[in-house]
Amino acid sequence: MTLRKVNIFILVLVVVIFLLVLHHNFLGLSDLLKKELSDSNPLGFQPIDFIPEAPQRLTVDQNENEIPVVITASDERLGGVIAAVNSIQQNTKSNVAFHIVTLNDTVDHLRSWLSKTSLKNVQYRILNFDPGMLAGKVQIDSKMPDSIKPLTFARFYLPNWVPNAEKAIYLDDDVIVQDDILELYHTPLQPGHAAAFSDDCDSTSNKFSVRGAGNQYNYMGFLDYKKELVRKLSIKASTCSFNPGVFVANLTEWKIQNVTKQLEKWMALNVVEEIYSRTLAGSITTPPLLIVFYKRHSKIDPMWNVRHLGSSAGKRYSPQFVKAAKLLHWNGHFKPWGRTASFADVWEKWYIPDPSGRFNLIRRHSDAAQ
């Protein structure tokens, strides 16, 4: 063995020892990290899950900076509520209490999705909606028995979900929030108003919407003005409608005015008299709200409900406008978890894949390949 060979041998030995030491340290470090993570128990952020039979109390004293948000979760679009909750949580320092209303066969799926992902530290409560509440109040079309989505009526029963709150936010599941929800929560409500909505005429996003599409921007698009019952309401047909997918409510006022009872009355009347417009393309939850809140609602900043992203109108928004929006709403047929929605990439930033693998985004192959 020459001296040179010995030198190379020693060099290789040193490198091997160095790598072994590095590897060992690295393992040690990662163990330490793992331990740190599992040990860290975020104080004060325990998920507050809710057993239907237990007394309905999120916290004994309504925390002053706690923001109650009510949102629904239906099984076939569960990814929606996940992205919405994540976007709200990531953009606020406030203590948001999510009240997620769902049907009892979705509870386990939802709970595992929340508890096995980064959402486990979110403060939430799962509430069970009994579709039996709607008996006699909605018409079940025998040709399309699934056309009634019971959860869309959950908003009619808002005080049931947050019995101790004076003020609460309701959100559809096809939204994401890009700013601090505290600002939406602070929307002032005029005395005597039980809720604040974004009107369809003065909204920023309405500039882009298709006027001809079923007149879905005034009362005529939602109510059948040929019906005596509707005419007797003396509501001007050209009055701007509002979007009921995002609203702030004063629940004290809601209860004083018996808003839930009033809404139920109009639901039941529609079953008998079919007072909703025949061209009604949107949800059948809108007409009762339009009647009950006619000239009796406050306004939310339109940037807090930038809508129509689920229809062709949404395609016309500029990326700058979408970026500036405080809340994006994919109302319409094309949902961001589906194949052809506009700005699905913006939504997907907030989406957390389902650990059970049961819910999957529908994407084009070209998208998947990227």
Ligand X SMILES: *[C@@H]1O[C@H](CO)[C@@H](O)[C@H](O)[C@H]1NC(C)=O
Compute the least distance from the CB of residue 156 to ligand X, in Å: 15
| DSSP 8-state assignment for residue 340 | S
**Which stretch in 7-15, 147-155, 245-253, 263-271 sits in contact with ligand X by CB under 6 A?**
245-253
- List the structure tokens of 314: 């949404």
167 is a contact residue toward ligand X (CB under 6 A) = yes
Output the six-digit token pair for 98: 């999510």
Decide whether 196 or 325 has the Cβ nearer to ligand X: 196
Q: Which residues of 19-49 are buried (b: 16+ CB within 10 A; e: fewer)?
A: eeeeeeeeeeeeeeeeeeeeeeeeeeeebee
Cα 130 to Cα 123, 154, 155, 232, distances in angstroms: 23, 10, 13, 33
**Binding status of residue 253 toward ligand X by CB under 6 A:** yes
What is the Cα–Cα distance from 73 to 80, expressed in whole angstroms? 8
Of 42 and 191, which CB lies nearer to ligand X in the complex structure? 191
Task: Report if residue 189 touches ligand X, rule: CB under 6 A.
Answer: yes
Considering only the stretches 37-45, 222-230, 239-247, 250-258, report the one whose residues sit in contact with ligand X under the rule CB under 6 A: 250-258
CB nearer to ligand X: give 25 or 258.
258
User: Which among 27-35, 89-97, 246-254, 291-299 is the span making contact with ligand X, rule CB under 6 A?
Assistant: 246-254
Site for ligand X in 19-78 (CB under 6 A): none
151 near ligand X, rule: CB under 6 A: no
Minimum distance from CB of 343 to ligand X (Å)? 33
Burial 251-276 (b: 16+ CB within 10 A, else e): bebbeebebbebbbebbebbeeeebb
**279 is an interface residue for ligand X by CB under 6 A:** no
d(CA 157, CA 111): 22
Place of tokens 């009240």: 99
Asked if 7 is part of the footprint of ligand X (rule: CB under 6 A), the reply reads no
Candidates 25, 104, 118, 238: give the one binding ligand X (CB under 6 A).
Answer: 104
Helices 107-115 and 78-90: crossing angle in degrees, nearest 10, is 40
Q: Which of 238, 252, 340, 356 binds ligand X (CB under 6 A)?
A: 252
CB of 213 to ligand X, least distance (A): 35
Residue 15 CB-half CA count within 13 A: 6
Site string for ligand X, 119-138 (x = CB under 6 A): -----------x-x------
Tell me how far, at minimum, the Cβ of 52 lies from ligand X, in Å.
8
Asked if residue 297 binds ligand X (CB under 6 A), the reply is: no
Helices (H), 240-343: 251-256, 259-273, 286-292, 319-324
Residue 222 CB, nearest distance to ligand X (Å)?
23
Write the interaction track for ligand X spanning residues 200-239; mark x where CB under 6 A is met and - where it is not: ----------------------------------------
327-329 and 175-177 strand pairing? antiparallel
The C-alpha atoms of residue 161 and residue 139 are separated, in whole angstroms, by 24
Q: Which is nearer to ligand X, 31 or 108 (CB)?
A: 108
Among 74, 218, 250, 331, binds ligand X (CB under 6 A): 250
Q: Helix H segments across the chain?
A: 3-39, 78-90, 107-115, 158-161, 181-185, 228-231, 251-256, 259-273, 286-292, 319-324, 344-348, 365-369
Site size toward ligand X (CB under 6 A) is: 12
The residues that touch ligand X, with contacts defined as CB under 6 A, are: 104, 130, 132, 166-167, 189, 191, 250, 252-253, 257-258
